[in-house]
Every structure is written in C-alpha cells, then in structure tokens.
Amino acid sequence: MIFDVVTLSPSMFQGPLDEGILARARRSGTVAVRVHDLRQWGVGPQRQVDDAPFGGGPGMVLKPEPMFDAVAWIRERTPAARERVLLMAPQGVPFDRAAAFRLAAGYDRLILLCGRYEGIDERVRTALADEEISVGDVVVSGGELPALMVIDAVARQIPGVLGNALSAAQDSFEASGLDWPSYTRPKEYRGHAVPEVRTSGITPRSTPGGGAPPRRRRARSVRI
C-alpha cells in the first residue's frame, strides 16, 4: 500500500512515521508513505497556496490549483491501478474500522489531501476528491492529524504489517465490540487482583488469541 500525503506541514509526519508499527512496515516495504509539500505547486514566484475568500470573511482559503497540480504530479510519476483521493474534512463520512478495512482491501494507493487555514476551495472537494473523511465532530488546525490516524488504521489491516495476524482480528470495534481487559504480572497490585478467569490455567495454546475462550471473550467485550 502506498500513501501519498499532500500537506502544508510535512514535518508533522516525521515523528509518527518513524516509530513503532508504521516504521517497521515502511522498512519492510509493506507500506510506503510519501509526504509532499503543497508549496511545491504554489502559484507564481511566491508559491502562493492560499487567497482571501470570495464574498469576504475571516481567514484564508487554500487555492485549488496547487492541490490539482499535486495530484496530477503524483499520478504522472507513479501510476496506480487502484487509487482513492481522500480529503480530510469535518463534513466527511465518519472514519471507522469498516472504512479502514475497505480502503486497505480495495486500493493500492491512497492520496490524502490535508487542508489548513479557513478551509479549502470547494472545487477540490467536488472535482478532485473521491471521498471526504472525518475523524470526529471536532475541529483541529489542519488535516495532518486525521491523515495520520487514517494511515495508521488502514496500515493495520494490511497483511504483514502486524507481527501477529490475530492482533487486528481482536482489535476493538472488531465484530461490533471493544477489546476485553488485559492483565499482566504481578497477579495482585495494591489490593487489585487479576480476575480468576485470567489465571485459571488457560494458555495461549488453548485458544486462538490466548486468555478466555472466544465466546466468553466476546461476551465480555460487548459489556465494555
């Protein structure tokens, strides 16, 4: 899977992409993440990427030309048979586990467009993006943090990214439930003991995911 990110703040991606699961997936070649500075396609000698909104109002709006040119450049340099252009936007479809699975299974490349300032020219939404993604009913300063969430969640669904194939299958929200409580040693800590069901001798060999049998695990998951 290839993720191409178009952003005004490319440095925001350096830390998260260089740690943990995403870093290992990138090193192994299972996942590729390429971050593109929108200013590279800015208009004129000043590389302008924003302008005042028609009709007035506060803030600046990202111009359409840089976004369209960035996507055209990406497509020209690295064609992809199965591609989806995602616009990070508060009015988008709520992003959930089902969306992550759909994007991982259905596409070879995702192009993520990150807005900033007061917003982005509407023509990017209507004529360039294939769909809009929202990560919740909250306003953040730009699309970079939502894009990172999408990358991480989609990457977890790609075979070979997680060390244990059962990890994704037992994630929260799988089968409409949350993952059940986890415990480790010590058995008792500050008066709080691990439930007997977790210390009753059931081993990882006795059930596919370890811990409680699947039926009990599902029941406990739903109650959370």
DSSP-derived 3-state class of residue 33: strand
Active site residues: 90, 118, 156, 171
DSSP, res 48: B
Give CA–CA dist 92/18, Å, rounded: 28
Tokens of 70: 């960035």
Tokens of 13: 């991606």
Element (H, E) at 51: strand 50-51
With beta carbons less than 8 A apart as the criterion, state whether 142 and 114 touch: yes
DSSP-derived 3-state class of residue 3: strand
Half-sphere exposure of 10 (CA within 13 A, CB side): 11
